[in-house]
């Protein structure tokens, strides 16, 4: 082999080899964990993927999903041209059409439906991809529909609501400056590997760590105190913390006196929740509750690391997190260094420490003049606090036409399996007159659309992102789009023209939009384009401490609200003004009748490191790491049911039954079963009812219901498609 051949074999970049490194970002995870990507490109094809060493957030690391990026980009399941359905919904029979045909047809159908039934009868939905949302929301507002909805109907928003209700805005943990971190449900080894570096450094520095999780995670094994609670009982535990902190005089009297509302009522509420009582509810030792409460309250400063999903994935989720967030105020750790800091998002839900006009760009203010949103009447607290419609209410509105009929859905990345009672959700959606789904892949959901539009991956498009330390990247396409695929934003811009929406800025394309949004940051597209690998935003810094001193908190009273004015105003079951504890709607305590037949607590959705919702099942590398659907079962429960580790078993609820492999492990509590969601051949959400929702947020109770297990044969397995 000569030198050039050797270099080619080693994929060495250079003029002689024709291999070039192009900087990009991995958007398989989104948006908190995007690693910088070095894409090695030769003759327009990505031949190698590596992490970007100089990326300040990922330092050249990649997880199994990012390492499989080429299989994602070049998947044989990519949609290559626009498609028009020719067979039954779901049959997968389509004919390729041109972009002009597709866009004209969509424009004429949507405008026709708008004329006949009003703009509100058209829904604009975005799945987990969050990067294109500001553009989609603006597009929906231009169209005149209040029904902009996203996967955030099940992710993160309820956690944000719990904070809005309590102190007006989200307050993230200041890990760098803290001396104690309370991880109230977080499993970074599986979900946010980029957090591990900071966590390890913190632990090495001697900071105290408390972990609250029903499963023994990697993080739990590093904790000073680990509380392995029954899923969905977080509220009782947090109230018991409040009990100890007040009883032992460990609370911040001055802050509580000056800056909180309803302390006396809260004090009364927690007086009843002794550690002994909470121990009985949560299944943890009272002594450990006392130890953790003291550790958190005595360390100064201390922060709570919360998460987007598991605590609010219960029918009592918002109240449970409200009880947790009250502790931050009670101990005076709110908006101080090393505590939880109020830090607004700069771009795509990420705080970057610099101002942008992303929010203004979405035109959310126009919602006020539009008809009622989906879910607004059923979830009034949601409607007051969020700028979106609540997608979990779509099936009900489809069934009843109340308050008006829905006729069309325009989706960027629809996955019906993300919704509880998935099949019912799909059946209702299929009654629409017209469905468009834009996706990278011809998914099960896309197969039900009338028109499928092919979308680009992050390697083929431009997108802007930022990271909390004040770093921003406006990526360049590393390769030409695969097939005829287009960027979501290009699709919206083109469609806007054909619909005659008259939005000059959106129609001018992503560069113009980014220029507009970034204006307050002082950076122009020209500046950003000089640094395709990303750049520090000059002057970016976290907001000042104790901003409430100047104008109070963004709650109706201007104070931290132990007693919520909004909940007081709305009222109703589950919407109590105090964060009182209520059992999950399906638990051994709330439904002893059901528990006789279904004795185990079922948690659906704990993440696996190699899978990202539906996205990476189809990649051979990631799939090989965990080929079959499985659920975690405690050895005692497995033995009682006669189930062997690795054997097939059924997991059944009153709603349905799945066949999965048993992963018998002492890492889960006796009495609990945990399973990942979105398996193509074993969809966890077929086990739940579509109405199993939190009355405050409308979030599904994915993480606690009741089930039974029994041995099964391999024949029971479902055949599925990604």
Ligand X SMILES: Nc1nc2c(c(=O)[nH]1)N[C@H]1C(S)=C(S)[C@@H](COP(=O)(O)OP(=O)(O)OC[C@H]3O[C@@H](n4cnc5c(=O)[nH]c(N)nc54)[C@H](O)[C@@H]3O)O[C@H]1N2
List residues binding Mo ion (CB under 5 A): 155
Choose among 553, 438, 579: nearest CA to 124: 438
Question: Is position 213 an interface residue for ligand X (rule: CB under 6 A)?
Answer: yes
The residue within the footprint of ligand X, chosen from 50, 309, 493, 693 (CB under 6 A), is 309
In 61-219, DSSP assigns E strands to 83-85, 94-96, 122-126, 148-150, 171-173, 180-184, 208-212
Do residues 481 and 135 lie in contact, with contact meaning Cβ atoms separated by under 8 Å?
Answer: no
The residue within the footprint of ligand X, chosen from 171, 194, 212, 600 (CB under 6 A), is 212
The residue within the footprint of ligand X, chosen from 171, 651, 684, 712 (CB under 6 A), is 684
Only one of the segments 227-235, 337-345, 425-433, 575-583 lies at the binding site for ligand X (rule: CB under 6 A); that segment is: 227-235
| Element (DSSP H or E) covering residue 326 | helix 317-330
Choose among 27, 30, 28, 26: nearest CA to 39: 26
Do residues 239 and 579 lie in contact, with contact meaning Cβ atoms separated by under 8 Å?
Answer: yes
Angle between helices 157-167 and 317-330 in degrees, nearest 10: 40
Question: Is position 629 an interface residue for ligand X (rule: CB under 6 A)?
Answer: no
Least separation in angstroms between residue 625's CB and ligand X is: 11
Location of structure tokens 């931290």: 560
> Burial level of 592, CB count in 10 A (0-12/13-18/19+)?
exposed
Only one of the segments 301-309, 325-333, 379-387, 511-519 lies at the binding site for ligand X (rule: CB under 6 A); that segment is: 301-309
Nearer to Mo ion, 154 or 164 (CB): 154
Contacts of 400 (CB under 8 A, 6+ apart): none
Q: Which residues of 93-118 are buried (b: 16+ CB within 10 A; e: fewer)?
A: ebeebebeebbebbbebbbebbeebe
The residue within the footprint of ligand X, chosen from 82, 262, 283, 310 (CB under 6 A), is 310
Do residues 61 and 55 lie in contact, with contact meaning Cβ atoms separated by under 8 Å?
Answer: no
Question: Is position 186 an interface residue for ligand X (rule: CB under 6 A)?
Answer: yes
CA distance 650 to 585: 23
In 137-191, DSSP assigns E strands to 148-150, 171-173, 180-184
Strand-pairing partners, residue 454, are 439
Nearer to ligand X, 245 or 453 (CB): 453
Least separation in angstroms between residue 217's CB and ligand X is: 5
Question: Which entry of Mo ion, ligand X, none binds 270, CB below 5 to 8 A by partner kind?
Answer: none
Instruction: Compute the half-sphere exposure of residue 674: CA atoms within 13 Å on the CB side of its CA.
Output: 21
The residue within the footprint of ligand X, chosen from 103, 412, 426, 482 (CB under 6 A), is 412
Question: Is position 119 an interface residue for ligand X (rule: CB under 6 A)?
Answer: no
Least separation in angstroms between residue 15's CB and ligand X is: 33
Only one of the segments 159-167, 438-446, 470-478, 638-646 lies at the binding site for ligand X (rule: CB under 6 A); that segment is: 438-446
Least separation in angstroms between residue 610's CB and Mo ion is: 17
Please state whether the peptide bond connecting residue 689 to the residue before it is cis, i.e. omega within 30 degrees of 0.
Answer: no
Least separation in angstroms between residue 150's CB and ligand X is: 8
Question: Is position 214 an interface residue for ligand X (rule: CB under 6 A)?
Answer: yes
3-class SS of residue 427? helix
Contacts of 512 (CB under 8 A, 6+ apart): 505
Question: Is position 190 an interface residue for ligand X (rule: CB under 6 A)?
Answer: yes
Least separation in angstroms between residue 186's CB and ligand X is: 5
| Element (DSSP H or E) covering residue 711 | strand 705-711
Do residues 717 and 681 lie in contact, with contact meaning Cβ atoms separated by under 8 Å?
Answer: yes
The residue within the footprint of ligand X, chosen from 612, 626, 659, 697 (CB under 6 A), is 612
Do residues 46 and 73 lie in contact, with contact meaning Cβ atoms separated by under 8 Å?
Answer: yes
Question: Is position 561 an interface residue for ligand X (rule: CB under 6 A)?
Answer: no
Question: Is position 313 an interface residue for ligand X (rule: CB under 6 A)?
Answer: yes
The residue within the footprint of ligand X, chosen from 34, 228, 333, 415 (CB under 6 A), is 415
Nearer to Mo ion, 55 or 308 (CB): 308
Count of residues that interact with ligand X, criterion CB under 6 A: 54
Question: Is position 637 an interface residue for ligand X (rule: CB under 6 A)?
Answer: no
CA distance 452 to 628: 29
The residue within the footprint of ligand X, chosen from 161, 432, 436, 438 (CB under 6 A), is 438
Binding mask 688-707 for ligand X (x = CB under 6 A): --------------xx----
Nearer to Mo ion, 145 or 193 (CB): 193
Question: Which entry of Mo ion, ligand X, none binds 421, CB below 5 to 8 A by partner kind?
Answer: none
Do residues 566 and 573 lie in contact, with contact meaning Cβ atoms separated by under 8 Å?
Answer: no
Question: Is position 164 an interface residue for ligand X (rule: CB under 6 A)?
Answer: no
3-class SS of residue 50? strand
Do residues 444 and 417 lie in contact, with contact meaning Cβ atoms separated by under 8 Å?
Answer: yes
Least separation in angstroms between residue 539's CB and ligand X is: 30
Nearer to ligand X, 411 or 523 (CB): 411
Least separation in angstroms between residue 626's CB and ligand X is: 11
Nearer to ligand X, 145 or 612 (CB): 612
Least separation in angstroms between residue 275's CB and ligand X is: 17
Only one of the segments 186-194, 239-247, 332-340, 526-534 lies at the binding site for ligand X (rule: CB under 6 A); that segment is: 186-194
CA distance 46 to 369: 47
Question: Which entry of Mo ion, ligand X, none binds 213, CB below 5 to 8 A by partner kind?
Answer: ligand X
CA distance 281 to 283: 6
Question: Which entry of ligand X, Mo ion, none binds 685, CB below 5 to 8 A by partner kind?
Answer: ligand X
The residue within the footprint of ligand X, chosen from 340, 443, 473, 653 (CB under 6 A), is 443
Only one of the segments 283-291, 434-442, 529-537, 637-645 lies at the binding site for ligand X (rule: CB under 6 A); that segment is: 434-442
CA distance 673 to 687: 13
Least separation in angstroms between residue 92's CB and ligand X is: 15
Question: Which entry of ligand X, Mo ion, none binds 604, CB below 5 to 8 A by partner kind?
Answer: ligand X
Question: Which entry of Mo ion, ligand X, none binds 234, CB below 5 to 8 A by partner kind?
Answer: ligand X
- H, E, C per residue of 576-637: CCCCCCCCCCCCCCCCHHHHHHCCEEEEECCCCCCCCCCCCCCCHHHHHHCCCCEEEECHHH
Residues that bind ligand X (CB under 6 A): 29, 127-129, 151, 154-155, 184-187, 190-191, 212-215, 217, 231-232, 234, 307-311, 313, 412-413, 415, 418, 438-441, 443, 455, 488, 603-607, 609, 611-615, 677, 684-685, 702-703
């Amino acid at each position: 082999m000569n030198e050039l051949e050797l270099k080619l074999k080693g994929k060495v970049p250079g003029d002689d080899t024709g291999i070039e490194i192009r900087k990009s970002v991995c958007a398989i995870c989104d948006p908190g964990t995007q690693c910088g990507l070095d894409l090695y490109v030769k003759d327009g094809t990505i031949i190698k993927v590596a992490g970007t060493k100089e990326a300040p957030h990922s330092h050249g690391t990649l997880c199994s999903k990012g390492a499989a990026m080429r299989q994602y980009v070049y998947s044989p399941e990519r949609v290559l041209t626009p498609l028009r359905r020719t067979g039954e919904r779901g049959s997968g029979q389509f004919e390729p059409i041109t972009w002009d045909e597709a866009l004209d047809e969509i424009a004429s159908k949507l405008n026709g439906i708008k004329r006949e039934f009003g703009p509100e009868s058209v829904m604009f939905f975005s799945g987990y991809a969050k990067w294109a949302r500001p553009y989609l929301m603006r597009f929906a507002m231009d169209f005149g529909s209040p029904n902009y909805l996203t996967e955030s109907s099940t992710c993160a928003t309820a956690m944000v609501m719990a904070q809005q209700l309590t102190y007006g805005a989200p307050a993230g943990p200041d890990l760098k400056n803290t001396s104690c971190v309370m991880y109230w449900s977080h499993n970074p080894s599986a979900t946010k590997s980029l957090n591990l570096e900071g966590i390890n450094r913190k632990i090495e520095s001697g900071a105290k760590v408390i972990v609250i999780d029903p499963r023994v995670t990697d993080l739990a094994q590093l904790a000073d105190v680990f509380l392995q609670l029954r899923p969905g009982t977080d509220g009782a535990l947090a109230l018991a913390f409040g009990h100890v902190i007040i009883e032992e005089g460990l609370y911040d009297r001055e802050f509580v006196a000056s800056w909180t509302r309803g302390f006396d009522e809260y004090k009364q509420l927690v007086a009843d929740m002794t550690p002994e009582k909470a121990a009985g509810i949560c299944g943890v030792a009272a002594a450990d509750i006392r130890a953790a409460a003291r550790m958190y309250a005595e360390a100064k400063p201390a922060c709570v690391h919360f998460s987007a999903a598991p605590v609010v994935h219960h029918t009592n989720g918002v109240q449970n997190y409200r009880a947790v967030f009250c502790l931050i105020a009670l101990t005076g750790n709110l908006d101080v260094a090393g505590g939880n800091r109020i830090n607004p998002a700069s771009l795509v839900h990420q705080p970057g420490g610099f101002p942008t006009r992303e929010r203004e760009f979405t035109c959310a203010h126009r919602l006020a003049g539009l008809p009622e949103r989906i879910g607004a009447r059923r979830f009034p607290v949601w409607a007051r606090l969020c700028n979106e419609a609540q997608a979990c209410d779509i099936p009900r509105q489809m069934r009843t036409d109340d308050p008006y009929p829905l006729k069309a859905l325009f989706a960027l990345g629809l996955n019906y399996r993300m919704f509880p009672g998935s099949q019912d959700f799909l059946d209702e959606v299929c009654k629409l007159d017209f469905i468009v789904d834009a996706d990278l892949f011809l998914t099960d959901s896309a197969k039900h659309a009338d028109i499928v539009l092919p979308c680009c991956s992050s390697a083929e498009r431009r997108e802007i992102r930022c990271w909390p330390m004040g770093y921003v990247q406006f990526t360049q396409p590393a390769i030409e789009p695969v097939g005829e695929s287009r960027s979501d934003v290009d699709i919206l811009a083109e469609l806007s023209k054909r619909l005659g929406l008259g939005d000059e800025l959106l129609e001018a394309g992503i560069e113009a939009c980014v220029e507009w949004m970034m204006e307050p940051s002082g950076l122009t597209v020209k500046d950003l384009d000089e640094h395709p690998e990303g750049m520090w935003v000059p002057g970016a810094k976290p907001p000042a401490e104790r901003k409430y001193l100047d104008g109070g908190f963004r709650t109706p009273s201007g104070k931290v609200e132990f007693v919520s004015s909004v909940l007081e105003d709305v009222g109703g079951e589950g919407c109590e003004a105090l964060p009182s504890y209520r059992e999950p709607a399906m638990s051994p305590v709330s439904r002893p009748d059901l528990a006789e037949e279904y004795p185990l607590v079922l948690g659906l959705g704990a993440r696996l490191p190699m899978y990202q919702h539906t996205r990476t099942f189809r990649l051979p590398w990631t799939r090989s790491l965990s080929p079959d659907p499985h659920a975690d079962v405690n050895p005692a429960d497995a033995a009682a049911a006669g189930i062997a580790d690795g054997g097939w078993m059924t997991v059944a609820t009153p709603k349905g039954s799945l066949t999965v492999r048993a992963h018998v492990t002492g890492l889960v509590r006796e009495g609990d079963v945990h399973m990942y969601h979105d398996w193509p051949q074993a969809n966890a959400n077929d086990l739940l009812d579509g109405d199993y929702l939190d009355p405050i947020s409308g979030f599904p109770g994915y993480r606690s219901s009741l089930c039974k297990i029994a041995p099964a044969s391999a024949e029971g397995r479902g055949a599925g498609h990604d």
